[in-house]
Structure 1
Amino acid sequence: MQLDLDLAGRTVLVVGGAASARLAVARFVQAGAAVSITATDAGCRSVERPKHLAGWRDVVDGMDLVVLVDADAEEERMIRAVAGRRTWILSEAPASAEPIGTVTLIGGGPGDDGLLTLAARDALARADIIYVDRLAPQQRLREFAPGAEIVDVGKTPGHHAIPQHEIERRMVASALEGRTVARLKGGDPYVFGRGGEEVAACRAAGVPVTVIPGVTSAIAVPAAAGIPVTYREVSRMFTVVSGHAPLDDAQLAHLAGLGGTIVVLMGVSNLPHLTAGLARFGMPADMPLAIIERGTQLSQRTTVTTVSDATEVSTRLRVSSPAVIVVGEVVRLMHHGEEADRISRDVIALAGE
């Protein structure tokens, strides 16, 4: 599509069948347009294909762009006759008649490829092309997916070399070419992984999509460090928070008063804001806090501190992402034996151990 037009929020009419126009529909949906099509079951608003000039006038009126995919000569004549000066008209070749492929979103777990599920391994083995996130397990990917094309679409904090909408566009385009697509993501696709957005993009384009859950780092990484997120008589609940953006005062106040365990993903850069806010809203200064870097991997490192000291300690030790932050009394339970007696006699006794 060669068109110098910002399509975000624009109205687009695609003249074609659901199969023949699927590529055009996918592109314009991904560009943010409000798409209508003269077909049913195309993943967007459908309109009846008119037979006469007056009918085309009603359908075309108010459209910013009309895309002719499989319109015949008479339909094109009528459309051009009723289109206003503000309406662009573009012709595109129909999509291939090859069957549509599929997309599978795969939760890869927190990093250790031994935590991939059997379903994930099976999906990788069937894939023609795999779009891989930075934090997804990749050590044995060539072994798990022999012959597949592997495309790195990973993002680093503050730097998205390939924007999310472009990742979605590529996935959809590959599936519309008839390929079996796997999208390998770290953790679980639906836990701060933008999996819902990717599923929506596939459905809008009429691409079959399934989701394979993954072992979420919110539970697995604390466990790898010896920290249970719940423990009888110590923590009856845990709250998982995205630390990607600073929390507002209402959210901080809620967290500080909720009790239980707080697990923060992607929160290293906002750790000073988080701990200062929790303290401001009443969390005890000596509340234990653990930072687990590169959880489940050989280079895993766990730093145990408190809410009041977390910023100074993390700066001095040069804590970096990826890391999971755990706040709560359960952090004391990672210690055992004499060290447990020395650090947390009261908590262990309260737990009935």
Structure 2
Amino acid sequence: MRPYTADFGYGCNMGYYGSGWDDEHLASAISKAGGQTIRVTLPDQFLDKWGWQARQAAFDHHTTNLGLRELVCFVGEPSAEHRDQTVYPGCRESSKLFANLYEPIWLADSTVNPRNYYAAYVYRLTQTYGKHIRFWEVVNEPDFITDVSNKEWLERAPRPAETTNTLAPIYHYIRTLRITWEIVKKYCPEDYVTPGGLGYAEYLDALLRYTDNPVAAPLRPNFRPEAGRISTWWTTMCTPRTTCAGAICCTPASTTCATPTTPPLSCCATRPSSRPCCTSTASTAKPTPKSTSSSRKPTLAAAPPSGATAPMRCSATSA
């Protein structure tokens, strides 16, 4: 994957702030305050109700008139027709993910399969709004939990009832990541696909362990537990850091790295006692529940400014 090398951009998370504040006014205020980007959303249930062109004028305003760049867009929230109606064990309502996720993504002629509702939704997003978007976040806060300890996710998969923003097996969420990646990388190859606003390292650990196959081989056959644990903690526990033969070492740049051993991972030949190597010891900390922004609703678009057009960055290929 191409590394992201652009400068850090200050921005704001869009949302619902009461009457009189639509996204255009909010984006203008953010731009005047010095912001360079925004995080928006294009839910399937919203576009199904208001039409696929409902946000076109707003997005043109954001990128062309205001010059906002590298927009982040989180996707998901299926319409009633496209929602998986399965009520998974422990849940009080049906899944919040799409139905037909395991239908083939592509047809024999390399076009998107319309029976895969989520694939068809993401494809249509790339064609309608892709030129404005750089980062595609899949589901807002998929790991959100309420009053549940998630340390057990280091040893097992999160249960559907424990992830209230999906209410579905984690394999299904991984499937949505895979579908998004395949379609975005075909039609908007310079863009990035990412989980949507993770708050817990334990969930990332599970994402690294499992695949989108819930039956045959849910656990990655070549997965090393210590590799997943390291990836969730090294960025916060190790400063400075160096990399040697693929191993992350919490040592000064001049220190020689040794071969990684079994957990707890130790990849430093020598190190100051005040700068320990990465381990998963911090994973036992009790998580602090965070508030969810899932209730935020996008606002309707105002009329586009005269002559507003956005520069094409993502090809619009018909299927």
* TM-score > 0.5, shorter chain as reference: no
Q: Report the structure, 1 or 2, having the larger helix content.
A: 1
Q: Report the structure, 1 or 2, having the larger strand content.
A: 1
Higher Cα radius of gyration: 1
Q: TM-score scaled to structure 1, two decimals?
A: 0.21
Higher relative contact order (CA 8 A, sep 6+): 2
**TM-score, normalised by the number of residues in structure 2:** 0.23
